[in-house]
């Protein structure tokens, strides 16, 4: 069954407000009179009202990411039961009406009266923040949802929620509306076994969309199954099923006995491997569970994912430091002991031994300390020696027992060391310190006057023609233009030394000011927004993909910190009298014409007749050089074929003016899917790319051939 890959999530189009000037009305507005500030101005929100008032504080956003976060919170409770050894099966059902059901065969949420709240434990967990078995002793040794707000937040943000619990031979149930109980928890029948079912439908008053994406759910649940070996996760998509009818066969099922070793195999299934046997170890040390899997490939970049209690830590932390320290030490010791490194040779560096590395490092910690609300980095100092000791001992044994695999790993690392030295020489030649300070910026760069990075923008433009229009149309105060000639090097297939010999990439690196590789420093970034602006055709899409590959592989921090954008030039200009609108798709064009046109007509484009809905009648046609222009009953339709065909005023008005433009910000919420997709589409292997194209060709919209 085919799966689609959404390796870039591009949130809703960003409309950037214009810069504030001294002469603007807002700047000259009179100061408001001093208002009274006393006890009566202090608002106290009862129960879950605070969650409904400020949902973004608890789930990040009210868009698609926040919507799916509801599912993750409920599933996390079931995963916690599985990590504690009490749950072996989880079922997630997508139901008609955008409802979701999550069931497990764990112990079931307790239903007896809680001494402190005087409510059932079930109602306490569902209505009170920071209530659950993850605080204090006796609930869970390790847990993912550590803030204890999970299921209560889901309850608060759901139009309706129903909880069913199987305990002590009885089936208990309780229903809620917008977080408020509609009655007490009570038994409604008998039941065999134990477990919990939560059925909820997100409140459309809270969320911008309530439609769940199956691929997003599959990606997350697959990862959880890898990280919790032995648990079975079944996904049922019943959104088109008859009301009340359940599917007996799951749409998807995940079960991995080998845990993160299976995860590494999945990450590498489109790559050429240098190590036949996947290294794997799982062991406890001083109450810390450590699970690590490693396999080397022919890639030039590393792919390492670090987790604590099944929570992804994109910035790593103490567990990743322990892993990397042990990896470098053990491989150097082995290389010297076996004669791969002579006495005169330098030791392999961390960068050398990580080239082509695919690894998953997962730890289970009773009281994890994360840096920041996003849990991006693990801070527990005791985790580092635990990972170091367990991994180094197991890897040493693995290398001795698998000499062919060891030989492939060491040879790969030594080759990386030689390439690193060549790249260092190239980098020192090309990227001198003075260059990065702006003394020798690329000649093709049209810089801006502003020097504060957070106020500046760099447009990477395709070709000299579009570059010329962009240079003339821009705001020179804060917008810089860097035109690129042709298609840049595909960095998926190139080492750093080859990249630095490419003039276009070299110019971009110097213009950005961050340097690259070991010398990368985001504090040197000269522009707050780096905007890719290419034509809306196949060549433009290819150039965007090449640039995104460059940023993802060599400047990932620019993506994770929100600096990379894609400009959205319009496809058409629709004008009726003084009413002129720019539209970005054929669907939007047809809708705009239907809105504008009161009398009915027929549209002519490229000598072909196209009938948008509700449009019939007589037409007249005009053609302007370099553009398609059609006049339909007083409505002018101008088709833009490329950025170079827009005059500077049009390019500014439609694509570069912060008051009007639309941009997409690049994010990578699922790094594993992104890594796989880049490997498939940009790597050396032809067959996986062919299969990908064959699988997804029919889903492509607006294909320009």
Residues with a catalytic annotation lie at 462, 535, 537, 539
Distance separating alpha carbons of residues 583 and 570, to the nearest angstrom: 5
Q: Which residues contact 84 (CB under 8 A, 6 or more apart)?
A: 140, 141, 142
Cα 310 to Cα 220, 322, 438, 566, distances in angstroms:
11, 18, 44, 32
Cα 264 to Cα 230, 547, 680, 689, distances in angstroms:
16, 27, 16, 20
- Among 587, 593, 702, 585, residue whose Cα is nearest residue 637: 593
Task: Give the max Cα distance, the chain.
Answer: 87
Which tokens belong to 98? 């955008």
71-95 b/e (C-beta count within 10 Å ≥ 16 → b): bbbbbbbbbbbbbbebbebbbbbbb
CA angle (82 as vertex; 79, 84 as ends), nearest 5: 115
Contact 600, 607 (CB under 8 A): no
* Beta strands, E only, 590-690: 603-605, 608-610, 620-621, 628-632, 635-639, 663-665
Count of beta carbons in the 10 Å neighbourhood of residue 381: 10
Distance separating alpha carbons of residues 202 and 27, to the nearest angstrom: 41
Instruction: Fill in the DSSP letter of residue 454.
Output: G
Specify the pairing of strand 529-533 against strand 564-567.
Answer: parallel
Contact 71, 100 (CB under 8 A): yes
CA 427 and chain centroid, separation: 31
């Amino acid at each position: 069954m085919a799966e689609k890959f959404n390796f870039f999530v591009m949130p809703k189009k960003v409309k950037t407000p214009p810069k504030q000037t001294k002469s603007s009305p807002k700047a000259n507005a009179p100061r408001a009179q001093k208002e009274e500030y006393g006890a009566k101005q202090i608002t106290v929100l009862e129960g879950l009202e605070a969650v409904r008032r400020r949902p973004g504080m608890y789930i990040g956003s009210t868009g698609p990411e926040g919507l799916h976060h509801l599912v993750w919170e409920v599933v996390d409770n079931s995963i916690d039961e599985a990590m504690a050894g009490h749950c072996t099966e989880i079922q997630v059902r997508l139901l008609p009406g955008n409802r979701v059901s999550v069931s497990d065969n764990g112990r079931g949420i307790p239903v007896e009266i809680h001494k402190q709240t005087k409510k059932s434990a079930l109602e306490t967990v569902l209505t009170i923040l920071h209530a659950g078995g993850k605080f204090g002793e006796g609930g869970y040794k390790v847990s993912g949802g550590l803030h204890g707000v999970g299921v209560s937040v889901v309850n608060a943000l759901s139009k309706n929620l129903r909880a069913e619990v199987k305990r002590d031979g009885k089936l208990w149930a309780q229903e809620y509306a917008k977080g408020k109980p509609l009655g007490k928890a009570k038994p409604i029948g008998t039941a065999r076994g134990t477990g919990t079912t939560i059925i909820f439908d997100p409140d459309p008053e809270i969320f911008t969309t309530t439609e769940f994406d199956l691929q997003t759910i599959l990606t997350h649940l697959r990862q959880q199954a890898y990280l919790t070996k032995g648990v079975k996760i079944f996904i049922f998509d019943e959104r088109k099923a008859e009301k009340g009818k359940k599917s007996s066969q799951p749409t998807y099922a995940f079960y991995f006995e080998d845990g993160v070793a299976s995860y590494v195999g999945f990450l590498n299934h489109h790559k050429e491997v240098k190590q036949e046997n996947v290294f794997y170890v799982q062991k406890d040390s001083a109450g810390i569970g450590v699970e690590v899997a490693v396999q080397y490939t022919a890639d030039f970049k590393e792919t390492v994912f670090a987790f604590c209690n099944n929570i992804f830590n994109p910035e790593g932390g103490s567990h990743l430091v322990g892993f990397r320290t042990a990896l470098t030490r053990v491989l150097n010791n082995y290389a010297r002991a076996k004669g791969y490194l002579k006495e005169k040779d330098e030791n392999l560096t961390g960068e050398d031994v990580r080239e082509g590395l695919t690894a998953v490092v997962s730890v289970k910690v009773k009281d994890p300390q994360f840096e920041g609300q996003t849990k991006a980095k693990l801070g527990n100092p005791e985790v580092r020696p635990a990972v170091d000791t367990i991994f180094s001992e197991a890897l040493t044994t693995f290398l001795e027992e698998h000499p062919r695999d060891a030989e492939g790993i060491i040879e790969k690392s030594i080759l990386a060391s030689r390439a690193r030295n060549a790249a260092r020489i190239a980098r020192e030649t090309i990227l001198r310190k003075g260059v990065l300070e702006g003394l020798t910026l690329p000649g093709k760069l049209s810089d801006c006057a502003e020097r504060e990075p957070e106020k500046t923008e760099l447009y990477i433009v395709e070709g000299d023609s579009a570059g010329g229009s962009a240079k003339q149309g821009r705001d020179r105060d804060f917008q810089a233009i860097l035109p690129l000639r042709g298609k840049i090097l595909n960095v998926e297939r190139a080492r750093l030394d080859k990249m630095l010999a490419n003039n276009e990439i070299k110019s971009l690196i110097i213009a950005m000011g961050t340097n690259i590789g070991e010398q990368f420093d985001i504090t040197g970034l000269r522009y707050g927004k780096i905007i890719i602006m290419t034509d809306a055709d196949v060549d433009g899409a290819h150039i965007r993909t090449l640039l995104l590959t460059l940023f993802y592989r060599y400047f990932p921090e620019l993506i994770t910190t929100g600096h990379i954008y894609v400009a959205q030039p319009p496809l058409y200009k629709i004008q009726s009298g003084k009413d002129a609108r720019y539209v970005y798709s054929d669907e939007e064009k047809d809708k705009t014409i239907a809105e504008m046109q009161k009398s009915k007509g027929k549209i002519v484009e490229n000598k072909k007749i196209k009938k948008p809905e509700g449009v019939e009648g007589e037409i007249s046609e005009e053609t302007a050089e370099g553009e398609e222009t059609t006049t339909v009953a007083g409505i002018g339709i101008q088709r833009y074929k490329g950025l170079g065909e827009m005059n500077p005023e049009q390019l500014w008005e439609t694509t570069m003016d912060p008051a009007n433009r639309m941009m997409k910000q690049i994010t990578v919420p699922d790094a594993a899917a992104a890594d796989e997709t880049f490997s498939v589409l940009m790597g050396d292997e032809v067959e996986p790319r062919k299969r990908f194209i064959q699988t997804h060709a029919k889903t492509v919209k607006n294909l320009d051939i």
